[in-house]
C-alpha cells in the first residue's frame, strides 16, 4: 500500500516546515489524484443539469449520475440501484430517514433505540422526531469492556420499539459493533434497523444483503470522495412506503395546486438538483477503493491499528479506550493529567494532524468521564512510519508538558 501515497499529493504538504502526518481520516479522508481529476473533467466536459434535458450534455451527465448510483449499489450489494438515494451526507441521510420514519411509523409512547456510542448525527435527528411525536429515545448501554451490552438490547427491544439505529463503527472508540446480530435480534421482534456506516464504508466490506439491514447511511468525503454527498440506502419495500422528507422539483410525478403525486424510486427522495458532479466523482473514488480491494484495506488498517496500540502502550501515562477490542482504524486515548487539547496543539506544531475533543459524541465522552480524547484515525495511505513519527511527536509533546 506504500506506493498509494503517491496518489495523494496533499501528503507532501509541509506543516510548520514539518512533513505532514495525517491521522484525522475519521473526520475526512484525502483525495487521490484521479478523484481530483474527475472533478475537473466533469466540469470541463459534461456539466449540465440532469434528467430534464434532451440535449447531449444533459444526457451524458444523466448517464454518469445513474452509473454512479449503480457503482454505489454494487459497492454495498443492494438488490437494485433504485434503493440508493443520494443525499448531502450521513447527517442528511439520517435526518431524512428520521423524519420519514416518524411520519409513517411513530406514535405517542413509541420507542426508538440508539446505542451509547453514537455520533450526534445518529442521536439528534431521532431525538427531534421523538419530541415531535411524543416518543421516547432509548439507549443500548456499554459493558465494562466498552462493547455494546447485547443482553440489555434483548430487554430494550419491545412491542413499542419502531426502529433501531446504530453505528457500524464507533467514531470515538473505533470498535466494530455487532450490527449483524443487532439486525437479527431486532427483526425477530419485527423492528427495522438503520446502520450508520460513516466509519465503516471505506474500511471494510459492507454488504447490506448479508447484514439484512433495512437502512444504511454514509458520506462520500470519508471515502476518498467529494464533500457534500452521501447515501441513504433503504430496502425497496421500505422506500416505497415511506413518505418523502423534502418536496420540490424532481421528486414529483404530477403537481397541481390541489394535489401532488410522487416520482418513482429513488427520485421520490431526491428533491431539487442533485449533486451530479459529486456522484460522478464519488464513483471514481469507489473505483479507486475497489482497485486496492477492501479486504486488503481492512487487513492493512487492522495491522496498523494493532501496531499503533502497541506503540502507544509503551508511552507512560497513556490510557487507550477499548484497548484490545476489534477496531476499524480509530484509536482514542488520553494521557494522565494532561488535557487532550494541549496534546493536539503540540502534535500539530510537529506536523501531526489528530483530532481532540468530544468528536461529536458527547454522551459517550461524558460516560468516559473525561473532557475529551485524542483520536488518531487511519486511511489507506497511512503506514508504520506515520505511527512512529506520531509516537515520537507525542513523546516530545509530553516532555514539553511535564518536563519529564
Task: Say whether the peptide bond before residue 266 is cis (omega within 30 degrees of 0).
Answer: yes
Q: To the nearest whole angstrom, how small is the minimum distance from the Cβ of residue 89 to ligand PLP?
A: 3
Residue at grid coordinates 471494510 = 204
Identity of the residue, 232 or 346, whose beta carbon is nearer to ligand PLP in the bound complex: 232
Cα atoms in the Cβ-side hemisphere of radius 13 Å centred on 182? 28
CB of 182 to ligand PLP, least distance (A): 15
* Lookup result for grid cell 418513482: 264
Q: At what angle do helices 276-292 and 56-76 cross, to 10 degrees?
A: 40
What Å distances lie between residue 145 and 141, 142, 158, 325, 371, CA to CA?
Answer: 11, 8, 26, 8, 20
The nearer residue to ligand PLP, 90 or 175, going by C-beta atoms, is 90
- Tally Cβ neighbours within 10 Å of residue 158: 12
Number of chain positions touching ligand PLP (CB under 6 A): 13
Does an H or E element contain 22, and which? strand 21-22
Q: Quick one: 64 or 91, whose CB is closer to ligand PLP?
A: 91
Site membership for ligand PLP, residue 90 (CB under 6 A): yes
**What is the 8-class DSSP label of residue 223?**
G
Give φ, ψ of 172 to 5 degrees. -100, -50
Got the DSSP string for 291-347? HH-HHHHHHHHHHHHHHHHHHHHTSTTEEETTTTS-BSSEEEEEETTS-HHHHHHHH
Residue of the chain from 147, 219, 377, 382 that contacts ligand PLP (CB under 6 A): 219
Shortest Cβ 217–ligand PLP spacing (Å): 7
Cα–Cα dist 62/311, whole Å:
49
Phi then psi for residue 318, to 5 deg, are: -80, 130
Looking only at the bridges linking them, the beta strands covering 373-377 and 330-335 are: antiparallel
Q: Print the binding letters for residues 96-125 with ligand PLP: x by CB under 6 A, - otherwise.
A: -----------------------x-xx---
- CB of residue 114 to ligand PLP, shortest distance in Å: 11
Footprint of ligand PLP on 184-213 (CB under 6 A):
196, 198-199
Select 89 or 283, whichever has its Cβ closest to ligand PLP.
Answer: 89
Q: Which residue has the cell 480491494?
A: 293
> Which residue, 19 or 298, has its beta carbon nearer to ligand PLP?
298
Instruction: Please identify which of the residues 130, 194, 213, 360 carries the catalytic annotation.
Output: 360
213 catalytic? Reply is: no
Cβ atoms 68, 280 nearer than 8 A: yes
Interface region with ligand PLP, contact rule CB under 6 A, candidates 85-93, 258-266, 339-347, 392-400 = 85-93
Looking at residues 29 to 48 of the shown chain, list those that interact with ligand PLP (rule: CB under 6 A). Answer: none
Does position 373 interact with ligand PLP (CB under 6 A)? The reply is: no
Binders in 281-310 for ligand PLP, by CB under 6 A = none
| Residues 148-187 within binding reach of ligand PLP (CB under 6 A) | 167, 171
- Closest distance to ligand PLP from the beta carbon of 167 (Å): 5
Minimum distance between the CB of residue 130 and ligand PLP, rounded to whole angstroms? 18
Please, which residue, 171 or 382, has the CB nearer to ligand PLP?
171
- DSSP tag of 266: T
Question: For residue 246, what is its C-alpha cell?
Answer: 423534502
Indicate whether 91 belongs to the interface with ligand PLP (CB under 6 A).
yes
Q: Which is nearer to ligand PLP, 176 or 335 (CB)?
A: 176
User: How far apart, in Å, are the Cα atoms of 29 and each of 22, 227, 229, 356, 358?
Assistant: 9, 10, 14, 17, 19
Minimum CB–partner distance for residue 263 and ligand PLP (Å): 25
- β pairing state of 318-320 and 260-262: unpaired
Residues binding ligand PLP (CB under 6 A): 26, 89-91, 119, 121-122, 167, 171, 196, 198-199, 219
Give catalytic residue positions: 360
Amino acid at each position: 500500500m506504500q506506493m498509494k501515497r503517491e496518489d495523494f499529493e496533499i501528503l507532501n504538504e509541509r506543516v510548520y516546515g514539518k512533513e505532514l502526518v495525517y491521522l484525522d481520516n475519521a473526520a475526512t479522508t484525502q483525495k487521490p489524484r484521479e478523484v481530483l481529476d474527475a472533478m475537473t473533467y466533469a466540469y470541463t466536459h459534461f456539466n449540465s443539469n440532469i434528467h430534464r434535458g434532451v440535449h447531449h450534455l444533459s444526457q451524458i451527465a444523466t448517464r454518469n449520475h445513474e452509473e454512479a448510483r449503480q457503482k454505489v449499489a454494487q459497492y454495498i450489494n443492494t438488490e437494485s440501484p433504485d434503493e440508493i438515494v443520494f443525499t448531502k451526507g450521513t447527517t442528511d441521510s439520517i435526518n431524512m430517514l428520521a423524519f420519514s420514519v416518524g411520519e409513517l411509523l411513530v406514535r405517542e409512547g413509541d420507542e426508538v433505540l440508539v446505542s451509547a456510542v453514537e455520533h450526534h448525527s445518529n442521536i439528534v435527528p431521532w431525538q427531534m422526531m421523538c419530541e415531535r411525536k411524543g416518543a421516547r429515545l432509548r439507549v443500548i448501554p456499554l459493558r465494562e469492556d466498552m462493547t455494546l451490552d447485547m443482553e440489555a438490547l434483548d430487554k430494550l427491544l419491545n412491542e413499542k420499539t419502531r426502529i433501531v439505529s446504530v453505528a457500524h463503527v464507533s467514531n470515538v472508540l473505533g470498535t466494530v459493533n455487532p450490527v449483524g446480530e443487532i439486525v437479527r435480534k431486532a427483526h425477530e421482534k419485527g423492528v427495522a434497523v438503520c446502520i450508520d456506516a460513516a466509519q465503516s464504508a471505506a474500511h471494510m466490506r459492507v454488504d447490506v444483503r448479508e447484514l439484512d439491514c433495512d437502512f444504511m447511511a454514509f458520506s462520500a468525503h470519508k471515502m476518498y470522495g467529494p464533500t457534500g454527498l452521501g447515501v441513504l440506502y433503504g430496502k425497496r419495500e421500505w422506500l416505497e412506503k415511506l413518505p418523502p422528507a423534502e418536496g420540490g422539483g424532481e421528486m414529483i410525478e404530477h403537481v397541481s395546486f390541489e394535489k401532488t403525486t410522487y416520482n418513482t424510486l429513488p427520485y421520490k427522495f431526491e428533491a431539487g438538483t442533485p449533486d451530479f458532479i459529486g456522484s460522478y466523482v464519488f464513483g471514481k473514488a469507489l473505483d479507486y477503493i475497489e482497485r486496492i480491494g477492501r479486504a486488503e484495506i481492512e487487513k492493512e488498517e487492522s495491522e496498523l491499528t494493532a501496531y499503533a496500540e502497541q506503540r502507544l502502550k509503551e508511552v507512560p501515562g497513556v490510557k487507550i479506550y477499548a484497548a484490545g477490542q476489534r477496531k476499524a482504524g480509530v484509536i482514542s486515548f488520553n494521557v494522565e493529567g494532561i488535557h487532550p487539547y494541549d496534546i493536539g496543539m503540540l502534535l500539530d506544531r510537529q506536523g501531526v494532524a489528530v483530532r481532540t475533543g468530544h468528536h461529536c459524541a458527547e454522551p459517550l465522552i461524558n460516560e468516559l468521564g473525561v473532557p475529551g480524547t485524542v483520536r488518531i484515525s487511519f486511511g489507506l495511505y497511512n503506514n508504520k512510519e506515520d505511527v512512529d513519527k506520531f509516537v515520537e511527536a507525542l513523546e516530545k509533546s509530553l516532555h514539553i508538558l511535564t518536563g519529564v
